[in-house]
Amino acid sequence: MNRQEMIDLAKQIRSDEERPQVTPPHPPQATTTTLHVPTSVGDVRVLCHSPIDAAEPLPGFISFHGGGFITGTPEMDEPWNLFLAETANCHVLNIAYPLAPEHPFPVPVHVAYEVVQWIFQHAETLHLDAARIAIGGHSAGGNLATAVSLWNAEQTDPVPFIAQILDYPPLDLATDPADKPFFEEAIPAEQARQFNAMYIARAEDAYHHLASPLYAAQLDALPQTLVLTAEHDSLAQEARQYANRLQAAGVAVEHQEFAGQAHAFTHHGDLDVALQAWHRIADYLKSVYRS
């Protein structure tokens, strides 16, 4: 499949995408505003979710939505990011990063980091406490959050992330999806191959640590981490491996696996289990903000 065929397929997938989504049982007491952040590829939209009547600087959570690198928007996370804003009493900033195949690796990583730097530079204007900002994401967004954390740690003047939250992230794009654990509920291997190919324009880039963080050589400079996995997800094994590698490198890691759950269960699964996971994220944020 050539690049134009990939673009046409991605557009078709985006137009066809419509899945039932679970939402918080009660409307969160929080609001949404839209930011437009200048980057090397043009303005990038960021949804900022804040508790109602948030007066003083609050901690922040920079988040990335899922969608296999080729689809998705911040709006798909909005109900639960409003929940996090209220429950953890923080600003949640969800970045509309550029999508593949129009913008293959490493463009989304580079642009995401540009936005992250802008957020820290404008923390005072955004009423953010720059000393208490975490990063995270779901699925492909978890990959991007991991990559941004890794790249940030390599900078001479890194931004001070206090934590990262990785929710069922794909962290090994080099291994053929057919060679990963199989579950009936898992993402079909052929679909996973298509998504990976749209994101990774050059085969050798699949082994780059910013595309496949599992292959990163140095992990000791990363912030404390929460990893969530779903038992019946073909990506759970690589996320477990990454959590173990972080722990071996001396990073404080908490890992929780949700039994019997499939990929994207926090958005499209059982509400009670999804609510458990979102409370776990909120509680983790509250704990790192206090420390």
Q: Residue 13: is its pLDDT beyond 70?
A: yes
Residue pair 243/227 in contact (Cβ under 8 Å)? The answer is yes
Residue pair 186/160 in contact (Cβ under 8 Å)? The answer is no
101 Rama sector, left if φ>0, alpha if ψ -120 to 50, beta otherwise: alpha
Q: What is the pTM of this model?
A: 0.96
Residue 16 and residue 227: Cα distance in Å, rounded? 30
Which pLDDT belongs to residue 1?
72
Mean pLDDT of 210-229: 98
Give the homologous superfamily in CATH for domain 3-290.
Alpha/Beta hydrolase fold, catalytic domain (3.40.50.1820)
Which pLDDT belongs to residue 208?
98
Where are the domains positioned within the chain? 3-290
* Collapsed DSSP state (helix, strand, coil) of residue 287: helix
Which two structure tokens, joined as six digits, stand for 7? 């673009």
Residue 8 banded pLDDT, cuts 50, 70, 90: confident
Residue pair 184/212 in contact (Cβ under 8 Å)? The answer is no
Sequence-distant (≥ 6) Cβ neighbours of residue 48 within 8 angstroms? 32, 33, 34, 35, 91, 92, 93, 126
Mean pLDDT of 183-190: 92
Residue 38 and residue 19: Cα distance in Å, rounded? 32
The pairs formed by 239-242 with CB atoms below 8 angstroms and a separation of 24 or more are: 239/142, 239/166, 239/168, 239/169, 239/171, 241/171, 241/214, 242/146, 242/166, 242/169, 242/171, 242/213, 242/214
Mean pLDDT of 252-268: 97
Sequence-distant (≥ 6) Cβ neighbours of residue 287 within 8 angstroms? none
Provide the percentage of residues in the chain whose pLDDT is more than 70: 98
- Mean pLDDT score of the chain, rounded to an integer? 95
| Kind of pairing between the strands at 42-51 and 91-95 | antiparallel
37 Rama sector, left if φ>0, alpha if ψ -120 to 50, beta otherwise: beta
Residue 70 CA, distance from chain mean position: 14
